[in-house]
Chains A and B, each alone.
Chain A
Amino acid sequence: MPSYFFHTRDGDKLEIDEEGTDLPDDRSARNAAKELLAAMNREKLPNGDHMALSVTVQNAEGTEIYVVSLRLDGLPSSNPHEQR
């Protein structure tokens, strides 16, 4: 099975995947990237009001085949600048 590498970014923190995971095809790799992003989101959600996460998928040849990202901005609704 081809190997895929899932590099993650959390704000400024980049994590390079050096070991990779064997998956049957590009489609499963894209789905795996989305699942990973959702899991990172679940883990990070309680911390702060701003978050920018992404997962980049590289295939065994080193080509980037997919990038998926998620941005969260939480703003207090009682903020006077927002209300008036």
Chain B
Amino acid sequence: MDKQLYLERLVLKLETHIPLPPAERQKLLDLPLTLKRFEASQDIVREGEITKQCCLVAEGLVCRYKIVGDGARQILSLHLPGDIPDIHSLLIERMDHSLGTLTPAVVGLIPHDAVRALTRSSYRISEAFWRETLIEAAIYREWMVGIGRRSAPSRIAHLFCEFITKMTAIGLSDGATCNLPLTQPEIADALGLSTVHMNKKLREIREAKLIRLRANRLTVLDWPGLCELADFDPDYLHLQPGVAKIESA
């Protein structure tokens, strides 16, 4: 029963980017899924491993990351329920980064053979997965711009804008408030900042009354102000016109 719900999350996620006909939706819902539970801060797939399955995020928050020579971690992307962060493993078998949990999570493992058979039987699903990877590349470009060119406060604000926009699109936020189960060192690792620097700038954003962040709950107090600080334009997320978006309060 849970499996059905988790596969529905996959369909919902894909449909934030492209509508699917009922027959294609059903094919996705029929995918075989093996559920696996993880604690927070556990690796799902490690750099260098060769996998024979894709991981659907069913519950919790997952990230891609790399560790550099001196042990510092760079979080490369954040993945919400409905995402398949290693869909590329279908074509590039050896992982060039690691996939790990940030919170306790449930992951649905789907054998490569099943996904491959599905993409070969349906060009729409094949294109939907292709589109996912292209949009993910767009998100990487945005993160690259942030780490390369945006100020620390702007980077932090951008992460908040992106996170709540994605959460709203998949129905896990009402557009005003959402769970943000990230520690400050984790946010720092995603933005290429030191924790102390991040703490200071986050305080400034809170004092400017743009957001409230308490007990892992993010509340937007001033959406236009937050977007302005973040230099955030949601176009790069390529959400469908009908998808829930954040309106200015």
* Interface residue ranges, A against B (CB under 8 Å): 6, 8, 15, 17, 19, 21, 32-33, 35-36, 39, 43
Contact = CB atoms under 8 A, between A and B. Distances in A.
A17 B200 contact: yes
A43 B200 CA distance: 13
A40 B164 CA distance: 28
Interface string B192-223: 01111101100100000000000000000000
A19 B193 contact: no
B152 interface: yes
B195 A39 contact: no
Interface of B: 151-152, 184, 193-197, 199-200, 203
Given A21-B199, A39-B193, 19 more contacts: A6-B196, A6-B200, A8-B200, A15-B200, A17-B200, A19-B199, A21-B184, A21-B196, A32-B194, A32-B196, A33-B196, A35-B194, A35-B196, A35-B197, A36-B194, A39-B152, A39-B194, A39-B197, A43-B151
B203 A19 contact: yes
Q: Which 10 pairs of residues, A with B, have the shortest CB-CB distance?
A: A35-B194, A32-B196, A39-B197, A21-B196, A36-B196, A21-B199, A36-B197, A6-B196, A21-B195, A32-B194
Contacts of A19: 199, 203
B200 A36 contact: yes
20 contacts: A6-B200, A8-B200, A15-B200, A17-B200, A19-B199, A19-B203, A21-B184, A21-B195, A21-B196, A32-B194, A32-B195, A32-B196, A35-B196, A35-B197, A36-B196, A39-B152, A39-B193, A39-B194, A39-B197, A43-B152
Contacts of B195: 21, 32
A33 to B, nearest CB: 8
Contacts of B151: 43
A8 B195 CA distance: 15
B165 to A, nearest CB: 26
Nearest to B194: A35
B59 to A, nearest CB: 28
A79 to B, nearest CB: 31
A27 B178 CA distance: 36
Scoring B152, B184, B196, B203 by chain A CB atoms within 10 A of each residue's CB, the highest score goes to B196
